[in-house]
Chain A
Amino acid sequence: MLFEALLHEKVDTIFGIPGGAIISVYDELCDYQDKIRFFLFRHEQGATHAADGYARSTGKPGVVLVTSGPGATNTVTAIATAYMDSVPLVVITGQVPTSMIGTDAFQEADVTGITMPITKHNHLVTSIEELPRVIKEAFHLATTGRPGPVLIDLPKDVQIAEGEFNYPNDIDIPSYRPTTRGHPKQIKKAMELLKNSKKPLVIVGGGANLSGTMDLVNAFIDKFGIPVVHTLMGHGVNPRDERLYFGGIGMHGTVYGNYAVTHSDLLIALGVRFSDRILGNPKKFAPGARIVHVDIDPAEIGKNVRVDVPIVGDLKSVLKEFLNFDFETDFSEWVKELQGVKERFPLGYRKGKYIKPQYVVEKASELFPDDTVVVADVGQNQMWVAQFYRFKHPRSFLCSGGLGTMGFALPAGIGAKIGNPNREVLVIAGDGGFQMNIQELMTINRYKLPVKVIILDNNALGMVRQWQQLFFKCRYSATLLDDNPDFAGIARVVGINARRVEKPEEVDAALEELANSKSPTLLHVLVDPRENVLPMVPSGGNLAEPLTDAPLDSGIVEKIRGGSDE
């Protein structure tokens, strides 16, 4: 019955690992092989991140099927990751039979209890009769309003119970009716402010990717000639007039992007949640600006910053309303001012005798097609991708923004490839995070998925090492990975093409080979372990006062690579 319901929801792809408390569902799966593709992973966290990568890159909900107890608890990190970034997932977990719930039965865990704070909704199914409605509701909740993961806990006896299958056509949950249309009065007020503004700025957030409205965002920017910046999750904005684009903002935003925020007189925030990584010091954030905040989730409005014009609604409908307005605007002075700052403080890095991770990213950005899905892990690698890869399409940059989950990139990249067989998928990870879900290399090989992987190996938990260098007097407590394995060797053993790159002059050719390869391929790139992510606004700092330079600590080279690399 479960699969009939899933077919009604147009599910054709499932990720997971079986087990005792879900074995009969997996048995049933045999009868649906022609309609549903199932992907076996090597860890439930991997399967769930894969469903997440599938969902982020396609916009369709990712479906996960795992067993009770440890199977379910293994999904927790990945569910929390999806929750923080508002990704639609439906996670189905086996559960011990209803009669045994509460007895500490074998592989019993209170999964609805555990996942309550990290799901949009969860439900323990108690009878086969309610199953169709519960499934219907789960997909509805996961994909509408502010999307998010929904978990269904399915006891063993319910799985095998017989019942009549009546799939509901419509769904109506009176206590759940997200507002979609923005309030016309507020929309008018926002546009009045724009008309009278001298220094407006659009901030694009993850909501623009999630709602599939990046085209409208671009159109809005182009129509009124407004400069634009974005959050980590808002990558993909690409106005026709490239001169309006001022990159990312926040802790590792560009100097000019953060300058724009600080000097703007009107922020139009589209699908942004103003996280602490964006605000720095909330009291010093955008001191001279009125704030228009458009978001589908009313709870985000006014949560972290004061808002002058709140607009609760779906970006799509609100942007269409915005575009109905016609008036002349001329922000060229403001654009010129920002261009000046950009020229004075460009994003950059110094060349040297070691491979620069920033260069690897920049070069990959040149070589891979525009619609490539790039999946970064967490740490310095993620920030370098955010800074030096130029994304021109929505849903083309995936990473764990809110939770910052190391180990996300590899499995999420696999999920993205499964969802986008015709797009290139490029995973870029640090050596630390890569090892957190390294087992999924086996999954790449199992399904011969031509995922491309770059490991930026700095022999360190780099981002933490950077903080230790800058804020803890270079005491590298537990961050140097001087014992990293030969990742290329591991990949080859698993059956994946791989190459180790040690010298700057080898990088271009290796990247070209990677971009042109038709099969799964991994590059293990030994990068300069001293590099820091700059600019940087330290936690809680003022966006107007970024750290733009920091010395390289050469002492670490010997510590982690021995004398031979010098």
Chain B
Amino acid sequence: MSDRQIFGGEHEHTVSVLVYNKPGVLRKIAGLFSRRGFNISSITVGDGKDPGLSRLTIVVTGDDKVIEQIQKQLYKVVEVVKVSPIDPKHRVEREMALVKVRLDGGEKIELLQLVEIFRGKIIDVSNEGVIVEITGATSKVEAFIKLLASSHKIIEIARTGKVAMNRWESSYNGEGS
């Protein structure tokens, strides 16, 4: 279930975790990761399908043994209902970023082109600059930011972190969501 090779046996993995939405549960999970020395690259939380339950999408790096431990340790948190690994091959993933860009002069056209190519949106405009919304797979968001940074002055970036789901065709669905 490896997403992206980092180095050696280390990979980036995505897990989707369904939890009871009780006070302190986020803290428990975040605490578990730091205590056991697991590296979180991103974590998102939001309501899921059922009331009272929340869904977390966690992106972590580690070798396969670490990932197995993460899943087992997550299950030991009493509020955790379900831990579903996300299929690296058959999945959809999205994240969103807001990027505040300063515009000093003539680069406006260039910016508009870039936003269009990446199917982003300009959602705030002023004399000083704009705010761009961009949505897509993490790699797309990152590519956009990189290109933008090479030609413009980025003032601020806010990213949501990734949400992900196994595709219908994924074999992970049996044990999954």
CA of A176 to CA of B20, assembled, Å? 12
Whether B27 lies near A124 (C-beta < 8 A) is: no
B9 proximal to A (CB < 8 A): no
| Residue in contact with B69 in the complex, picked from A112, A121, A303, CB distance below 8 Å | A303
| A303 to B79 alpha-carbon distance, docked (Å) | 22
> Is B31 a contact partner of A173 (Cβ separation < 8 A)?
no
Residues of chain A lying within 8 A (CB to CB) of residue B32: 117
Selected from B19, B31, B65, B75, the residue in CB contact (under 8 A) with A117 is: B31
- The distance from the CB of B98 to the nearest CB of chain A, in whole angstroms, is 31
Is A298 part of the binding interface, using a Cβ–Cβ cutoff of 8 Å? Answer: yes
Residues on A with C-beta less than 8 A from B24 are 112-113, 116, 124
Size of interface on B: residues with Cβ below 8 Å to A: 20
Taking the closest CB of chain A, its distance from the CB of B37, in whole angstroms, is 13
Known: A116-B31, A141-B78. A175 touches B69 (CB 8 A): no
A110 to chain B minimum Cβ distance, whole angstroms, is 10
The interface bits of chain A over 73-115 (1 if a CB of B lies within 8 angstroms of the residue's CB, else 0) are 0000000000000000000000000000000000000001100
Could you tell me which residues of chain B, from 50 to 86, have a CB within 8 Å of some CB in chain A? 65, 68-69, 72-73, 75-76, 78-81
Q: Contact between B65 and A299 (Cβ–Cβ < 8 Å)?
A: no
Please tell me if the beta carbons of A175 and B78 are within 8 angstroms of each other in the complex: yes
| A:162-182 near B, CB below 8 Å | 173-176
Q: What residues on A are CB-neighbors of B68 within 8 Å?
A: 302
Nearest CB on A from B83, distance (A): 10
Alpha-carbon distance between A141 and B75 when the two chains are bound, in angstroms = 14
Q: How far is the CA of A297 from the CA of B35 in the complex (A)?
A: 18
Partner pick for A302 among B27, B65, B80, B81, CB 8 A cutoff: B65
What sequence of 0s and 1s flags, for each residue 298-339 of chain A, a beta carbon within 8 Å of any chain B beta carbon?
A: 110011000000000000000000000000000000000000
Q: How many A-B residue pairs have CB under 8 A?
A: 37
Instruction: Contact check, B81 vs A116: say whether CB atoms are below 8 A apart.
Output: no
Rounded to whole angstroms, the CA-CA distance of A126 and B78 in the bound complex is 18
Q: How far is the CA of A298 from the CA of B76 in the complex (A)?
A: 9
B28: which of A116, A175, A176, A302 is its contact (CB, 8 Å)? A116
Which residues of B, 16-31, contact A by the 8 Å Cβ criterion? 19-20, 23-24, 27-28, 31
Cβ of A264 to closest chain B Cβ, rounded Å: 24
Question: With contacts A112-B24, A116-B27, A124-B23 known, is A174 near B69, CB below 8 A?
Answer: no
Q: Which residues of B contact A175 (CB under 8 A)?
A: 19-20, 78-81
| Separation of A116 and B31 alpha carbons in the complex (Å) | 8
- Which chain B residues border A303 with CB–CB below 8 Å? 69
Are B78 and A299 closer than 8 Å at their CB atoms?
A: no
Q: Separation in Å of the A324 CB from the closest CB of chain B?
A: 29
Interface bits A124-139 vs B (CB < 8 Å: 1, else 0):
1010000000000000
Inter-chain contact A174/B27, CB cutoff 8 Å: no
- Closest chain A residue, CB of each to CB of B31: A116
- A299 contacts B81, C-beta separation under 8 Å: no
In the assembled complex, which residues on chain B have CB atoms less than 8 Å from the CB atom of A176? Answer: 78
Report how many residues on chain A are interfacial, defined by Cβ distance under 8 Å.
18
Across the interface, which residues of B come within 8 angstroms of A120, CB to CB? Answer: 76, 78
Q: Which residues on the B side are within 8 Å of A173 (C-beta)? A: 78
| Cross-interface CB contact of B72 among A113, A121, A298, cutoff 8 Å | A298
Specify the chain B residue showing the minimal Cβ separation from A145: B76
Instruction: Report A-chain residues with C-beta under 8 Å of the C-beta of B76.
Output: 120, 297, 299
**Would you call A299 and B80 a contact (CB within 8 A)?**
no
- Cα-based distance from A112 to B23 in the complex (angstroms): 11
User: For the complex, what is the distance from the CA of A303 to the CA of B35, rounded to whole Å?
Assistant: 15
With A113-B27, A302-B68 as contacts: A121 and B75 at CB distance below 8 Å = no
Q: Find out whether the CB atom of B69 lies under 8 angstroms from the CB atom of A299.
A: yes
- Establish whether residues A121 and B78, one from each chain, have CB atoms under 8 Å apart when the complex forms: yes
Name the B residues within 8 Å of A297 (CB-CB): 76
Among A116, A121, A174, A175, max chain B CB count under 10 A is at A175
Nearest Cβ in chain B — how far from A90, in angstroms? 14
Residue of A with least CB distance to B34: A117
| A302: chain B residues within 8 A (beta carbon) | 65, 68
- Residues in B with CB closer than 8 Å to A141 are 78
Closest to A146 in B: B76
A124 to chain B, nearest CB (A): 7
Nearest CB in chain A to that of B53: its residue: A175
| A125 to B69 alpha-carbon distance, docked (Å) | 31
Minimum Cβ distance to chain B for residue A371 (Å): 34
Q: What is the minimal beta-carbon distance from B146 to any residue of chain A, in angstroms?
A: 38
In this complex, the member of B20, B32, B72, B80 whose beta carbon has the largest number of chain A beta carbons within 10 angstroms is B72
Shortest C-beta distance, B9 to chain A (Å), equals 15
Q: How far is the CA of A26 from the CA of B32 in the complex (A)?
A: 35
Q: What residues of chain B lie closer than 8 Å to A121, measured between beta carbons?
A: 78
B68 to chain A, nearest CB (A): 7
Q: How far is the CB of A72 from chain B (nearest CB, A)?
A: 16
Roughly how many angstroms separate A117 CA and B28 CA in the complex, as a whole number?
8
Complex CA distance for A126 and B75, rounded to whole angstroms: 25
Most central of B69, B78, B79, B81 by chain A CB within 10 Å: B78
- Among A117, A176, A299, chain B packs the most CB atoms within 10 A around the CB of A299
Bound Cα distance from A305 to B136, whole angstroms:
41
Q: Is the CB of B35 within 8 A of A117?
A: yes
* The 9 A-B residue pairs with the shortest CB-CB distance in the complex, in nearest-first order: A299-B72, A175-B81, A121-B78, A117-B35, A176-B78, A298-B72, A116-B31, A299-B73, A175-B80
Q: Which residues of A contact B (CB under 8 A)?
A: 112-113, 116-117, 120-121, 124, 126, 141, 173-176, 297-299, 302-303
Known: A112-B24, A113-B24, A176-B78. 19 other contacts (CB 8 A): A116-B24, A116-B31, A117-B31, A117-B32, A117-B35, A124-B23, A124-B24, A126-B23, A175-B20, A175-B78, A175-B80, A175-B81, A297-B76, A298-B72, A298-B75, A299-B69, A299-B72, A299-B75, A302-B68
Q: Can you report 22 A-B residue pairs in the complex whose CB atoms are below 8 A from each other?
A: A112-B24, A113-B24, A113-B27, A116-B27, A116-B28, A117-B31, A117-B32, A117-B35, A120-B78, A121-B78, A124-B23, A124-B24, A175-B20, A175-B79, A175-B80, A297-B76, A298-B72, A299-B69, A299-B72, A299-B73, A299-B76, A302-B68
User: Residues of B at under 8 Å CB distance from A?
Assistant: 19-20, 23-24, 27-28, 31-32, 35, 65, 68-69, 72-73, 75-76, 78-81
